[in-house]
Amino acid sequence: MKFAIQINEGPYQHQSADSAYQFAKAALEKGHEIFRIFFYHDGVNNGTRLTTPPQDDRHITNRWVELAEKYDLDLVVCVAAAQRRGIADADEAKRNGKDADNIAPKFRISGLGQLIEAGIQSDRLVVFGD
């Protein structure tokens, strides 16, 4: 089956990012396809490479990066939600006159149309949120 995943909550604050990761990993290991993972609301905070959890805790951002590298996943951060919360890639930082970017590798910033397209193209859109 072809899945799309939407994640609406920030890492560590809420289990949504963990549940989505476990779901995605299990689906991929079963041979299912994941068309796209779309990060919205505070979910965009999953995509900052500045994430620095304690050493004995899971590293939620790096976990996404590793899964994306293994399965060539499309990790998309909503641009409007990202701008509000200070998540930027080099282009966004430049466009908005910021002195730094913080997007993690394998993540890309794009528009809400990517979420709608994921809903259209996939057999199931699964939302993880509060």
Partner 1 sequence: MSETKKFLYLNRKAPYGTIYALESLEVVLIGAAFEQDVSLAFVDDGVFQLTKGQNTKGIGMKDFSPTYRALGDYDVNKLYVEKESLEERGLSLDDLMPLTYEDEDDDYAEKDSIRVVSRAEMAQIMDEQDVILSF
Which entry of 78, 87, 88, 115 is annotated as an active-site residue?
Answer: 78
Is residue 120 a contact point for partner 1 (CB under 8 A)? yes
Distance CA 63, CA 125 (A): 21
Residue 87: other Cβ atoms inside 10 A: 25
What is 20-52 written as a DSSP string?
HHHHHHHHHHTT-EEEEEEE-GGGGGGGBTT--
The window from 26-34, 58-66, 96-104, 115-123 that contacts partner 1 (CB under 8 A) reads: 115-123
Is residue 41 a contact point for partner 1 (CB under 8 A)? yes
Residue 36: other Cβ atoms inside 10 A: 22
The window from 25-33, 53-61, 94-102, 119-127 that contacts partner 1 (CB under 8 A) reads: 119-127
Binding residues vs partner 1 (CB under 8 A): 6, 8, 40-41, 80-81, 111-113, 115-117, 119-121, 125, 127, 129-130
